[in-house]
Amino acid sequence: METIIREDTPKTPFVRLDGEKGFVEIKGRSIPENSVDFYKPLIDWIDQYAKSPQENTVINIQLEYFNTSSSKCILDIFKKLELLHKKGHKVQVNWYYEEDDEDMFEAGEDYQSIINLPFKMIEMEE
């Protein structure tokens, strides 16, 4: 399965999707002009990955800011991974937030309450 790496821009996050390692990383700022266009290839990749996933899948989300439409797309990613989890595969979400960023902490808590995935909140020092 091909690894996808997208470098970050002022409006889009760094993305790494590594099927060999069972690793998904989204990091930075997510305010693309069209979130659906930006996230669709990621969601399609996860659909492909789910056909023969690794024993353990780790998702690292470390966003400094995201807009409402990105929020919906991130939820769609989590829902795809939740299906994988329901089939008995190990999936771990690591939600990183800066220690004084209450908005990002609360966003992580909101996702945690919506989806049924092992979810770890990880505070980062600035």
- Written as tens digits, the pLDDT of the chain (126 aa) is 889 999 999 999 999 999 999 999 999 999 999 999 999 999 999 999 999 999 999 999 999 999 999 999 999 999 999 999 999 999 999 999 999 999 999 999 999 999 999 999 999 987
**How far, in Å, CA of 104 to CA of 110, rounded?**
10
Which of 120, 126, 124 is CA-nearest to residue 60? 120
The total of structural domains in the chain comes to 1
22 — alpha (psi -120 to 50), left (phi > 0) or beta? left
**How far, in Å, CA of 117 to CA of 9, rounded?**
29
The pTM score is 0.93
Distance of CA 32 to the CA centre of its chain: 15
Amino acid at 10: P
**CATH number of the domain to which 28 belongs:** 3.30.750.24
Q: What is the pLDDT at residue 12?
A: 97
Q: Look up the domain containing 106 and give its range.
A: 4-124
